[in-house]
Amino acid sequence: MAIVQGTASTGFTVQEGCVVVSTYWKHWACLFPQHGPGRKHERRIELETWQEPIVTAHPKALIRGLIHSDGNRHLNPITRHFESGTKHYRYPRYMFKNASNDILALFTDALDLLRIGWTNSSPRVISIARRDDVALLDTFVGPKS
C-alpha cells in the first residue's frame, strides 16, 4: 500500500490471530471505484474498463477473494431412501451468497472463464457441487484466513 500511495502512511497493529492494516489516502476510491456510499446491492457494481483485463487474466484471485468474503466450503448432507434402506451421503461443495446481482454476476462470470459449473441454489446463492469443479476450486481457494 505504501508503494502504491508513494507515502509511508500505512500502519499495522498485530492482534491475536491477525494483523490490522490501515491507511488513509483520498485516492483509494480511484483504485477501488466500486466502493461508495450506500448498500452494495442497491447500487451498480461493475468493473471499470481497466479492471476487466486484470480479472480476465486472474479469475482465480477474484473467485478466491469473493469466496473468502461471502462464501464457504462445506459438506452437504444428502439422504437417499432405497428399498434396501436409507443411505446418508456427504459431499463437499462451495456456496457463495450475496444480495447484489452485480456481484453474483462478477462471481459467475469468473467461474465461467475457468469453465467451473455452477447453479443458483436460490436467488442470492451460487452453488458449486460437481466433484471436478470442487476439486479445481480446492487447488486455489484454500482455507479462509
pLDDT tens-digit series, residues 57-68: 999 999 999 999
In a shared domain, residues 108 and 68 = yes
Mean pLDDT of 39-43: 65
In a shared domain, residues 19 and 69 = no
Instruction: Give me 85's grid cell.
Output: 434402506
Instruction: Decide if pLDDT at 119 tops 90.
Output: yes
Tell me which amino acid residue 120 is: N
Number of domains in the chain: 2
Integer Cα distance of 92 and 133 in angstroms: 10
pLDDT value of position 36: 65
57 assigned to some structural domain: yes
145 assigned to some structural domain: no
19 three-class SS:
strand
Domain range enclosing 105: 45-138
39 assigned to some structural domain: no
109 assigned to some structural domain: yes
Alpha-carbon Rg of the chain, whole angstroms? 19
In a shared domain, residues 78 and 101 = yes
In a shared domain, residues 56 and 23 = no
